[in-house]
Amino acid sequence: MKNNIMPAAMATLLMIALPAAAEGDYRAKAIAVIKKDFQPRGQASIDRLAEDGLQAVCNRTGNKPPEGVGRAMEADQLADVKYPADGKLMGDWKAGEKLAQSGRGFTWSDKPGLPVGGNCYNCHQISPKETSFGTIGPSLYQFLKLRGTQPDIQKYVYSKIYNAKAYNLCSDMPRFGHIGALGEKQIKDLVALLLDPESPANK
């Protein structure tokens, strides 16, 4: 469903099920303080403080939504993934490597519309030659050896990068394709980085 807005009935049932404290006055006060102190600059506008339906569910349940609700919303996110019209899910791993190692983009000083980095290294190990990498996400080194490169794996990797919430509703991974941070070609290049045998991720 577009923009992750839950059906009204589901949202209502969920909010009824949540502890009253989750919607306590402290939340409204905290958001008011943040909005008061937030200074919009460039493309970093006040709308970045708004949460959509999916984020609201995760925020108000401590990232542990009721199982039925979580599964329904994950299916909703997966249905929103837009796959390439040409059916090809892998691009150029060399371009993917550059993208994965770039953390640039979306800051107030960046011009809107400029290419955005994938920032993958910040959460994942990709190559054994990296001098530093984050550990929030799992290591992606030897991904091909672990998963193979069958069409269903290519589709999984593409959709996971496009919208990770389709597989884990409250994942820390950004919804790169969904929010328009990465385009079709960029996602294809990242798929190739993980699945091309010549990629440093698989050496």
- Would the pLDDT of 4 be above 90? no
Tokens found for residue 5: 């807005």
**DSSP secondary structure of 126-165:** --TT-S----SS---TTHHHHH---HHHHHHHHHHHH-GG
pLDDT of residue 114: 79
Q: How confident is the model at residue 113 (pLDDT cuts 50, 70, 90)?
A: confident
User: Does 85 score more than 70 pLDDT?
Assistant: yes
| pLDDT at position 32 over 70 | yes
pLDDT in tens, 124-165: 999 988 888 999 999 999 999 999 999 999 999 999 999 999
pLDDT digits (tens, 9 = 90+) for 59-70: 888 999 999 999
Cα–Cα distance between 201 and 141 in angstroms, integer? 5
- pLDDT, residue 128, reads 87
- Band (175; pLDDT cuts 50, 70, 90): very high
What pLDDT is attached to residue 16?
Answer: 41
CATH 3.90.650.10 fits 93-202, yes or no: no
Task: Sort 190 into a burial class: Cβ within 10 Å, 0-12 / 13-18 / 19+.
Answer: buried
**Domain ranges for the chain:** 2-79, 93-202
